[in-house]
Amino acid sequence: MPPRRTSSLQSVTLRDVAKSSGVHLSTASRALDPAKRHLIADAVVSKIVAVADRLGYRRDPVAASLRTRRSKLVGVIVPDIANPVFSPIIAAITETLSAAGYSTIVADGGQDRKRQSALVGELIARRVDGLVLATVRRDDPILKECLNEDLAVVLVNRTDDSDRVSSVVTDDNAGMRLAVDHLVELGHRQIGHIAGPAHISTGHLRRQGFEEAMAARGLKYSERAIVEAAAYEREAGEMAAAELLKENPKLTAIAAANDLLALGAYRAIAAAGLSCPRDISVVGHNDMPLADMVEPPLTTIRIGPREMGHDAARLMIARIQEPNGAVKRVVLSPSLVTRTSTAAPKQ
C-alpha cells in the first residue's frame, strides 16, 4: 500500500520521506531542493516528490537557512513599480531565481535616497542572500553600504560609473543612435531630445548617444534642442516637450530617453495644437508593454526586458555561489521597433 498522508497534528520529517521512498536521506534532500535536484535522476526526483506530496511534507526554509547560513531570499528594488518596463524584468528575475530555489522580495524604492537606503537596510536585516537593484545612480553610496555588508549585488537596467558590481544593461548609446538614424532617414533634420536625469546612467548615456548620432549625421543643434526631464515620468516628459516646442519652433521630431517621456511629449504636442506624427514625430525608448496600444502606436527602441531580468538573476546566482568571482557587465543590443508615431516631415 502507498504511504498515507500523515495527520496535520504529526510532523513529517525529511527522514520520513527518505524512508518511504527507499532512498538515502541526502538523496531525498537533494531531490526536494530545486537548486540541487538536477544532481538526481529525473525518475528518482519524481518518485521522491510524489512521496513527499502524499505524506504532506513541506521543506522548512528557516531550518535550511540555519544549516546553510543562507536564506534563499533575494531582494529586488525598482524605482517605480508602476512603470510598465519593470514588470517583465521582475517577472523574469523571479522565474529564474525560483527555478534555482530562491524566493524574491520586490520593493518599490521610489526616487527618495533615504527611502531606498532604509529599504536596503530592512532587506539586509531579513538576511537576504543578495539584492538586484534597478535604482542606482551613477555615483551611489547605497552600493558602498551593500558592499560593506559583503552582500551579493547585481544592477539591472542601470549601472554606476565605477563598475564595482555586476550589471545587465542595454547599449544606451546605440539605442539613441538607432532613434536618431531612423528620424534622419525619414527626412528629419530639426530633432530635439528629451533627456533622462543626468545622475542616472540611462539619462547620461542616451543623451550622449543622441549627441554622437547628430554629429555623425552632420546635423547641428543648439543647447535648447535638449531638455533634461526631472524624472522618468509622463508629467516630466510633458513639461520637457513643452519647453522643446517653445524654444524650437522649427522642430519636426523628438527622440525621448524613455517611453513615459515620449507619452508626455504626446500630450505637449496636442496642447500646442499640433499632431503626431503629422507635425512632430516621436520616438521612445524601452518598448514598454502596451507601447503599441497608445495612439498613435509608439515607435521605440526595444531593450529586451525579459532577457535583462533572466541575465540579472543568473548573475545573482553566480555571485551568491562565488562571492569573489569576477565582476561581469552584460550589455544587450537594442533594436528599433517602427510604428506610426514617426513619419516623414511635412514639406
pLDDT tens per residue, range 24-70: 888 988 888 776 787 888 899 899 889 988 888 877 655 555 454 56
Inside any domain, residue 222: yes
Is 165 in the same domain as 176? no
Residue of 230, 243, 299 lying closest to 271 (CA atoms): 243
Among 113, 151, 117, smallest CA distance to 132 is for 151
| 201's grid cell | 546612467
Tell me the HSE value of 168 on the side-chain side, using a 13 A CA sphere.
Answer: 24
Say how many residues make up the chain: 347
At 117, which CATH number? 3.40.50.2300
Return the pLDDT at 315.
98
pLDDT at 61: 58
Supply the pLDDT for residue 1: 43
- At 172-221, the pLDDT tens digits run 999 999 999 999 999 999 999 999 999 999 999 999 999 999 999 999 99
pLDDT (average), residues 252-262: 98
Q: Residue 237 gets which letter from DSSP?
A: H
pLDDT at residue 300 in the model: 98
**What distance in Å separates the CA atoms of residue 152 and residue 65, rounded to the nearest whole number?**
16
pLDDT at 56: 85
Same domain, 310 and 220: no
- pLDDT of residue 310 exceeding 80, the answer is yes
Mean pLDDT of the chain: 91
Do 334 and 302 meet the contact criterion of CB atoms below 8 Å apart? yes
Q: Examine residue 337 and state whether it is found in any structural domain, yes or no.
A: no
Q: Could you give the CA distance from residue 163 to residue 17 in angstroms, rounded to a whole number?
A: 46
Whether 5 is in a domain gets the answer no
Q: Looking at the structure, do residues 158 and 238 belong to the same domain, yes or no?
A: no
Same domain, 27 and 89: no
The reported pLDDT for the residue numbered 37 is 81
Q: How many domains does the chain have?
A: 3
Closest C-alpha among 244, 173, 177, 248 to residue 203? 173
In this structure, are 187 and 293 located in the same domain? yes
Residue 2 is assigned to a structural domain of this protein: no
Percent of the chain at pLDDT > 90 equals 74
Do residues 175 and 192 lie in contact, with contact meaning Cβ atoms separated by under 8 Å? no
Q: 181 and 160, same structural domain? A: no
In sequence order, the 6+-apart residues with CB closer than 8 A to the CB of 249 are: none
Give the Cα separation of 167 and 275 in Å (integer): 39
Question: Domain limits at 198?
Answer: 172-303
Spatial distance between the Cα atoms of 22 and 75, rounded to a whole number of angstroms: 38
Q: Which amino acid is at 291?
A: A
Given this model, what pLDDT does residue 146 score?
92
What integer pLDDT is reported at residue 70 of this predicted model? 67
CA 59 centroid distance within chain = 30
Whether the per-residue pLDDT at 235 is higher than 90: the answer is yes
Enumerate the β-bridge partners of residue 154. 132, 166
Eight-state DSSP code of residue 333: P
User: Is a pLDDT exceeding 70 seen at residue 4?
Assistant: no
Pair 135, 49 in one domain: no
Beta strands in the chain (DSSP E): 73-78, 103-108, 130-133, 152-156, 166-170, 191-195, 226-228, 253-256, 281-283, 300-302, 329-332, 335-337
Domain co-membership, 148 together with 198: no
Q: Which residue, among 343, 339, 327, 325, has the nearest Cα to 284 in the 3D structure?
A: 339
In a domain, 259, yes or no: yes
Distance between terminal CA atoms of the chain? 84
The answer as to whether 345 is a domain residue is no
Summarize the confidence of residues 291-307 as an average pLDDT: 97
Please report whether residue 64 resides in a domain: no
Verify that 178 and 291 share a domain, yes or no: yes
pLDDT tier at 299 (50, 70, 90 boundaries)? very high
Q: Is 214 helix (H, G, I), strand (E, B) or coil?
A: helix
Integer Cα distance of 287 and 338 in angstroms: 10
Amino acid in the structure at residue 143: L
Whether residues 160 and 142 share a domain: the answer is yes
3-state SS track over 88-146: HHHHHHHHHHHHCCCEEEEEECCCCHHHHHHHHHHHHHCCCCEEEECCCCCCCHHHHHH
Give the pLDDT band of residue 169 (cuts 50, 70, 90).
Answer: very high
Mean pLDDT of the region 12-16: 87
The verdict on residue 341 lying in a domain is no
Give burial (CB, 10 Å; 0-12/13-18/19+) of 141.
exposed
Return the DSSP state at 84. Answer: T
pLDDT at 58: 76
Phi/psi at 330 (5° precision)? -95, 125
Same domain, 176 and 95: no
**182 and 299 part of one domain:** yes
